Amino acid sequence: MTYKVAISFDRCKITSVTCGCGNKDIFYCAHVVALSLYRIRKPDQVKLRLPISETLFQMNRDQLQKFVQYLITAHHTEVLPTAQKLADEILSSNSEINQVHGAPDPTAGASIDDENCWHLDEEQVREQVKLFLSQGGYYGSGKQLNSMFAKVREMLRMRDSNGARMLTLITEQFMADPRLSLWRQQGTGITEKCRQLWDELGALWVCVVLNPHCKLEEKSCWLRQLRKWGEMDVCPLEDGNYGNELPNITNALTQSSGHSQDSLARPRRTVFTRAIEGCDLHWQDSHLQRIISSDFYVSPSYQREGESLLFNSQGQPLWLEHVPTACARVDALRSHGYPREALRLTVAIINTLRLQQQRQLEIYKHQKKELLQRGATTITNLEGWVGHPLNPIGCLFLTLTEACRLEEENCLEISDAGDSKPPVYQHVPVVTGSQDGDESYLSLALEVALMGMGQQRVMPEGLYAQDKVCRNEEQIIARLQDLELDPVLVQTLRKQCILLLEGGPFSGLGEVIHRESVPMHTFAKYLFSALLPHDADLAYKLALRAMRLVHACFSPRFSRLLDVPTKTGDMLRLRTVLEAIQKNIHSSSLIFKLAQDAFKIATPADSNSDTTLLNVALELGLQVMRMTLSTLNWRRREMVRWLVTCATEVGVRALVSILQSWYSLFTPTEATSIVAATVMSHNTILRLSLDYPQREELASCARTLALQCAMKDPQNCALSALTLCEKDHIAFETAYQIVIDAASTGMTYTQLFTIARYMEHRGYPLRAFKLASLAMTHLNLAYNQDTHPAINDVLWACALSHSLGKNELAAIIPLVVKSVHCATVLSDILRRCTMTAPGLAGIPGRRNSGKLMSTDKAPLRQLLDATISAYINTTHSRLTHISPRHYGEFIEFLSKARETFLLAQDGHIQFAQFIDNLKQIYKGKKKLMLLVRERFG
């Protein structure tokens, strides 16, 4: 195929493109790319011409006339109308075209002060983001949106002004996501995948507004936009809640004991708040300018008054800004293509953190005695760096490791497993004015990651924020595991671990901690395995400190939950570990993670399970169930399923126990649809290889649970209860009775029809009939609801009654007449009832008379009358606001009505009267009445 492609350039940028292929995407189609590459690789093959206005300027009058006429002849079908219109305008003295001096020239390029930026198809950006959002995070749409964010970062790094424009378009679509108002009305949190995308959006805006070289008017324009979005009530909040549940204490300004603050006093912080605050920051500070512009900026030999705050004792510059804010500057420098500057600021931040760590250690040494006596501490860090919206630690770590990456020839190759290979790093010495021989950017990266994760900080409120802490911690640890620990890094690791153990209230692994502080077990687990080969003693000290145990009753072998092998007979010590967890950890998601860890270790693939540890896992799991029973938790289903798996692994006694105490662990729906159903499944029976008495005991417990749940919540549990009680006559009868009792009050017709169909399927047609009759009493179908989802149920109920016999049909018809006012549905039922004789279900003692029923006698007479009057009412309803385009359809409707009228003995007379009536009442609708006359006389 040949395509026509046009590309406009301006100052080395492609400013617009068109292509005949019509392919729509955010970026250029293959043909535009091909032409651009051709132009780059073979510049001499593409002739460079003067702008057309210059060429025309050189022609005389005859040449211009010739030029125009030839041009029109070559394209006369397309150009002629335009040419004539222009000719008319040029010859008319007062036309608009003659008021303007000169004429446009599309080949001349823009003027020097015009904006020039890369072409971006804005409509496509909107379309794509809308499409990905509508897929709700499925089918890799989350990946697609992340790659769009990455594209924005790439544009920022290339200093392409479209970066901010593209981010604006993305944000507009995010704000227009219809799910936002839905989530807000329901008071449910945003889904996990979506939250992460919103976080990235917020972080990107911080990067944009911190661009060191943006113009003031750009910044004020962004600020207006961000404020506008932030004020919308659907705007997601920073801590992941919709503000109705929990106050937010991640505000750096409330450094007082922020826990007791009234939530109303706290400003509403949205995902854009950080960016809005970022608009107040600037880069004019002369000390900051010097830090980022030179590797060799050191303190003068004579420090002036006040300069001691700017440098450490080695003369290296410090940067004393609030840490997350300072790191946001680093991220902005990195993102806008200033890697050297980002690295210099990072080193100044780390020098500051080290100095603070030293000072905090000295303060602690003075207060140590008093604090240890009190055994508790207040926390100064209300805003932890791990799990922070700006990801300060991740940002510093990446900036430092990027400077140490060994770019291999084939680093882009993907291994067979589809994972990219872990990065390879080398030590790159830190360039500073005062050289410390051992310092490398890589050892700084390790050091800052350890400092950040070891920081003692309050566990944030709200499940989302807590989960974010865990996720961020896991991300940092995964990056640390990519580092090969050579002697230099081992030395950094040991030094930091010792500082963390001695660090008092500033360290999460210090001797005194606040009871609400973030648990350190995941971090300690990493430290333990990293240190073990190099310094076993230090490793054990850390593991124990992380468990917060009194070491007197407990030898170092027992941090078993941290992967330390245990000997049998260590029941007592393991119980101590368990109690320590239960006492010290207040977050359900962390306890769940611990329970899963313990379960994994207790059930190795290649050997027998460790019963003791399995019981620990189960006990922790039960604790999580109790903690999350009455709170909304998006991981609840997963937790319940996991608990049943764990109990199955422990054995039949554990299963009996959870079935018997279900009400303290599960909701009725969970208990029947997940717990009992899984316990009774074929897989569980096989897995446990149970004998008959054990199987009976389990089944009996499951049935008791099912009946209790059906009593408590018949709407959601009745069907599950019947299924679970199928094999036991008495239990099944009881469950059925519960349904009948609840039918009049607590159940909808949909639920009753579902159970009725189930009854028929199980071979209980009379019970199905009873439930169907009860369902009918809850139903009301209006005249125009001819596509209502319950119609199938009504038809099924009538077919069932018909198959049972004349009496049942006679019993259901009055209910149908009362509930259904839709003529087409009624005539459908009537037709089906007159096609065959009733009573085909073959119930013993019942005989099918083989006679068709007459529409003149009860019960069908009542149905016929109701159908005819439904047709009459519907006709009048439709005629009150009918438009001509529906006339044909209406005539067809009347023909259908006639078929029903004719089933009555005097039906033709009734129908004729009905038509006469219509002609009288609606004589104003002449055209329609003409059609009625044509068809019905």
How many Cα atoms sit within 13 Å of 926 on the Cβ side? 0
* End-to-end C-alpha distance for the chain, whole angstroms: 63
Range among 43-52, 405-414, 545-554, 652-661 with highest mean pLDDT value:
652-661
Average pLDDT over residues 328-355: 95
pLDDT over threshold 80, residue 567: no
Give residue 781's pLDDT band: very low, low, confident or very high (50, 70, 90). very high
Give residue 414's pLDDT band: very low, low, confident or very high (50, 70, 90). very low
Query: Residue 144, class by beta-carbon neighbours within 10 Å (0-12 exposed, 13-18 middle, 19+ buried)?
Result: middle
The per-residue pLDDT for range 221-276, each reduced to its tens digit, is: 999 999 999 999 889 988 765 544 433 333 433 333 334 444 455 678 899 999 99
pLDDT over threshold 60, residue 558: no
The pLDDT of residue 223 is 96
User: Alpha-carbon distance 156 to 160, whole Å?
Assistant: 6
The pLDDT of residue 580 is 67
The pLDDT of residue 221 is 95
Tokens 């606001």 sit at which residue? 881
Answer yes or no: are the C-beta atoms of 519 and 587 closer than 8 Å.
yes
Q: Which residue has the higher pLDDT, 88 or 138?
A: 88
User: Alpha-carbon distance 868 to 898, whole Å?
Assistant: 9
Structure tokens at 738: 């519960």
The pLDDT of residue 363 is 86
Amino acid in position 367: Q
Work out the number of other CB atoms within 10 angstroms of the CB of residue 448: 25
Structure tokens at 200: 């990235």
The per-residue pLDDT for range 654-707, each reduced to its tens digit, is: 999 999 999 999 999 999 999 999 999 999 988 898 889 999 999 999 999 999
Range among 111-120, 394-403, 687-696 with highest mean pLDDT value:
394-403
The per-residue pLDDT for range 622-663, each reduced to its tens digit, is: 999 999 998 877 889 999 999 999 999 999 999 999 999 999
Chain centroid to Cα 820, Å, comes to 42
List the domain boundaries for the chain: 5-91, 122-242+269-279, 284-300+307-406+425-537, 554-650, 775-837+853-936
Answer yes or no: are the C-beta atoms of 677 and 720 closer than 8 Å.
yes
The pLDDT of residue 379 is 66
Do strands 5-10 and 13-19 pair parallel, antiparallel, or not at all (unpaired)? antiparallel
- 642: closest CA among 610, 674, 672? 674
pLDDT over threshold 90, residue 124: no
* DSSP class of 881: T
Is the bond leading into 429 cis (omega within 30 degrees of zero)? no
The pLDDT of residue 246 is 38
Let me know how long the chain is. 937
* Strand ranges for 382-537 from DSSP E: none
User: Alpha-carbon distance 672 to 717, whole Å?
Assistant: 7
pLDDT over threshold 70, residue 568: no
Q: Is 140 helix (H, G, I), strand (E, B) or coil?
A: coil
pLDDT over threshold 70, residue 24: yes
Q: Which residue has the higher pLDDT, 175 or 77?
A: 175
pLDDT over threshold 50, residue 413: no
Least confident of 55-64, 93-102, 341-350, 794-803: 93-102
The pLDDT of residue 380 is 65
pLDDT above 90 covers a percentage of the chain that reads: 52
The pLDDT of residue 549 is 43
Least confident of 263-272, 283-292, 413-422, 443-452: 413-422
The pLDDT of residue 307 is 58
Answer yes or no: are the C-beta atoms of 863 and 838 closer than 8 Å.
no
User: Alpha-carbon distance 154 to 163, whole Å?
Assistant: 8
pLDDT over threshold 70, residue 61: yes
Residues sharing a CB contact under 8 Å with residue 338, sequence separation 6 or more, in sequence order? 212, 292
| Vertex 365 angle, CA 507 and 445, to 5° | 35
pLDDT over threshold 50, residue 555: no
- State the CATH architecture for 554-650: Alpha Horseshoe (1.25)
The pLDDT of residue 250 is 39
User: Alpha-carbon distance 335 to 329, whole Å?
Assistant: 10
User: Alpha-carbon distance 916 to 640, whole Å?
Assistant: 68
- 209: closest CA among 191, 184, 227, 189? 227
Give residue 208's pLDDT band: very low, low, confident or very high (50, 70, 90). very high
Work out the number of other CB atoms within 10 angstroms of the CB of residue 46: 11
Q: Which residue has the higher pLDDT, 374 or 14?
A: 14
Residues sharing a CB contact under 8 Å with residue 908, sequence separation 6 or more, in sequence order? 901, 902
Query: Residue 185, class by beta-carbon neighbours within 10 Å (0-12 exposed, 13-18 middle, 19+ buried)?
Result: exposed
Tokens 């009445």 sit at which residue? 929
Average pLDDT over residues 707-715: 95
Residues sharing a CB contact under 8 Å with residue 240, sequence separation 6 or more, in sequence order? 189, 190, 195, 462, 463, 464, 465, 468
User: Alpha-carbon distance 511 to 505, whole Å?
Assistant: 7
Give residue 418's pLDDT band: very low, low, confident or very high (50, 70, 90). very low
**Alpha carbon separation from 434 to 378, 413, 430, 431 (Å, rounded):** 37, 40, 10, 9
| Vertex 56 angle, CA 52 and 58, to 5° | 125
The per-residue pLDDT for range 828-855, each reduced to its tens digit, is: 999 998 888 887 655 655 656 667 777 7
Q: Which residue has the higher pLDDT, 788 or 410?
A: 788
How much is the mean pLDDT over the chain? 85
Structure tokens at 569: 């007979």
Q: What pTM was computed for the model?
A: 0.59
The per-residue pLDDT for range 727-778, each reduced to its tens digit, is: 999 999 999 999 999 998 879 999 999 999 999 999 999 999 999 999 999 9
pLDDT over threshold 50, residue 557: no
Which neighbouring-strand residues pair with 455? Answer: 507
Give residue 182's pLDDT band: very low, low, confident or very high (50, 70, 90). confident
The pLDDT of residue 252 is 39
| Alpha helices (H) in 805-859, listed in sequence order | 806-819, 823-835
Structure tokens at 261: 């603050």
Is the bond leading into 556 cis (omega within 30 degrees of zero)? no
Average pLDDT over residues 530-543: 84
**Per-residue DSSP letters for 18-52?**
EETT----SS--HHHHHHHHHHHH-GGGS-----H
pLDDT over threshold 60, residue 603: yes
The per-residue pLDDT for range 884-927, each reduced to its tens digit, is: 899 999 999 999 999 999 999 889 999 999 999 999 999 888 89
The pLDDT of residue 433 is 60
Amino acid in position 125: V
Q: Which residue has the higher pLDDT, 112 or 713?
A: 713
The pLDDT of residue 452 is 94
